[in-house]
């Protein structure tokens, strides 16, 4: 019987299907439990051939549910589904998704999925050929069409010597998706949309060792990408010089310089429904960067001549496709003439984007932090103030405003 304290905690069901990535579900269970979440694990019999029942029980602190014939008087597939605030299946194999897409209820996990009314997240893991097979593609489309969030698998090492798309995302990234669902993200309201997000800070070489850069960690852009994926979008994240773990369900394109980011945007943005420019893009590059390290001690003090980089946000607006929503970010500080918000309004008028997220970065705010406070402005709506919050909360607000413009 649950204690009163446990009853007040959100409940998450972690389904585990029979794939080699089942061992990663252990880390997800641990992370969710440490977050104060009541976790119940529903492995298939195949999953238990990879990971023992005792491991799931020890990390969750609850009995493991495996059999529709156990505890029959409580009708477990119904009672478990009704108790859940969210369900995530890690890994979701091709077989599990095929059975779920066709409404099969031939074990406790699929029967529970069939009775669930809470947010359901499937995190696929399989070989690339299985993920790209026409049957799997059709099953994923069917599940997404029903409002189930099916995350994109990561790219990386698979079983044996194989590499490719089909790897299970990092458990910490999956925990972010679950927390989003528990905050009320019950709708896959970006399903069917392709969004592009930029993150991090571009760097421009001075010589092979030194560069011009900025303090952006990429945390806000990564949060935007993670939340969009959790809301059902196909997400392309163009990441500049960030060392953060890849968000779950996101295709990551890594760049370094402004020109590389521009090329990546030119490839991805034309087919996107929305583009969010959260990256801190360098305004300048070195006119003639040295091909060898600049030495000191020669008595000569080198000078650096800067040239302007192209304005990526202005370029996006100029080339936008009909119906595309474009969001800019402005890292501003006030001065003796005006405040950060007014500078943001001036930037919005110059750039012509739909929304502009203004960060006041004075006094160590915004950069390299997990929280931020922003003001989101547009030409046709009242400003939206987001007080000091986790960057995932800011991301949710941005996507809510983007969706309102589709």
Whether 241 is catalytic is no
What is the C-alpha separation between 237 and 247, in angstroms, rounded? Answer: 9
Phi-psi region of 267 (alpha: psi -120 to 50; beta: other; left: phi over 0): alpha
Residue 123, SS3 per DSSP = strand
Q: CA angle, corner 262, sides to 261 and 264, nearest 5?
A: 65
What is the C-alpha separation between 16 and 91, in angstroms, rounded? Answer: 6
Sign of CA dihedral 403, 283, 348, 365: positive
CB atoms within 10 A of CB 146: 12
What is the C-alpha separation between 87 and 198, in angstroms, rounded? Answer: 29
Separation in Å, CA 273 to CA 228, 263, 369 = 12, 18, 29
Tokens, residue 288:
């003639």
Residue whose entry in the numeric block shows the structure tokens 């919005």: 348
Q: Among the options 214, 241, 359, 372, which is catalytic?
A: 214
Give the distance, in angstroms, between the CA of residue 252 and the centroid of all CA atoms in the same chain.
Answer: 10
Q: Which residues are catalytic, by number?
A: 214
């Amino acid at each position: 019987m649950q204690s009163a304290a446990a009853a007040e905690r959100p409940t998450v069901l972690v389904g585990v299907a029979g794939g080699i990535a089942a061992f990663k579900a252990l880390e997800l269970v641990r992370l969710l439990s440490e977050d104060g979440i009541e976790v119940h694990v529903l492995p298939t019999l195949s999953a238990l051939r990879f990971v023992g029942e005792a491991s799931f029980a020890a990390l969750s602190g609850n009995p493991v549910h495996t059999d529709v014939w156990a505890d029959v008087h409580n009708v477990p597939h119904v009672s478990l589904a009704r108790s859940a605030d969210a369900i995530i299946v890690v890994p979701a194999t091709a077989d599990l998704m095929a059975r779920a897409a066709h409404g099969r209820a031939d074990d406790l996990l699929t029967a529970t999925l069939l009775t669930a009314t809470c947010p359901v997240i499937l995190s696929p893991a399989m070989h690339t050929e299985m993920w790209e097979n026409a049957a799997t593609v059709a099953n994923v489309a069917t599940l997404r069409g029903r409002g189930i969030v099916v995350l994109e698998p990561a790219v990386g090492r698979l079983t044996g010597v194989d590499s490719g798309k089909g790897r299970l995302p990092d458990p910490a990234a999956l925990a972010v998706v679950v927390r989003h669902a528990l905050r009320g993200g019950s709708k896959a309201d970006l399903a069917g949309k392709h969004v592009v997000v930029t993150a991090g800070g571009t760097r421009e070489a001075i010589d092979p060792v030194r560069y011009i850069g900025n303090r952006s960690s990429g945390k806000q852009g990564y949060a935007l990408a993670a939340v969009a994926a959790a809301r059902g979008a196909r997400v392309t994240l163009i990441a500049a010089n960030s060392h953060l773990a890849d968000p779950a369900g996101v295709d990551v394109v890594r760049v370094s310089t402004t020109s590389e980011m521009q090329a990546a945007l030119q490839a991805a943005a034309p087919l996107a429904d929305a583009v969010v420019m959260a990256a801190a893009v360098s305004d300048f590059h070195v006119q003639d960067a040295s091909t060898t390290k600049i030495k000191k001690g020669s008595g000569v003090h080198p000078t650096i001549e800067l040239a302007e980089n192209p304005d990526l946000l202005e370029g996006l607006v100029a080339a936008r496709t009909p119906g595309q929503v474009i969001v800019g970010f402005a890292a501003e500080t006030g001065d003796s003439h005006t405040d950060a918000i007014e500078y943001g309004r001036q930037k919005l008028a110059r750039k012509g984007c739909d929304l502009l997220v203004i960060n006041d970065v004075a006094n160590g705010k915004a950069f390299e932090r997990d929280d931020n406070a922003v003001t989101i402005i547009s030409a046709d709506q009242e400003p939206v103030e987001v007080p000091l919050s986790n960057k995932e909360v800011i991301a949710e607000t941005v996507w809510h405003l983007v969706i309102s413009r589709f």
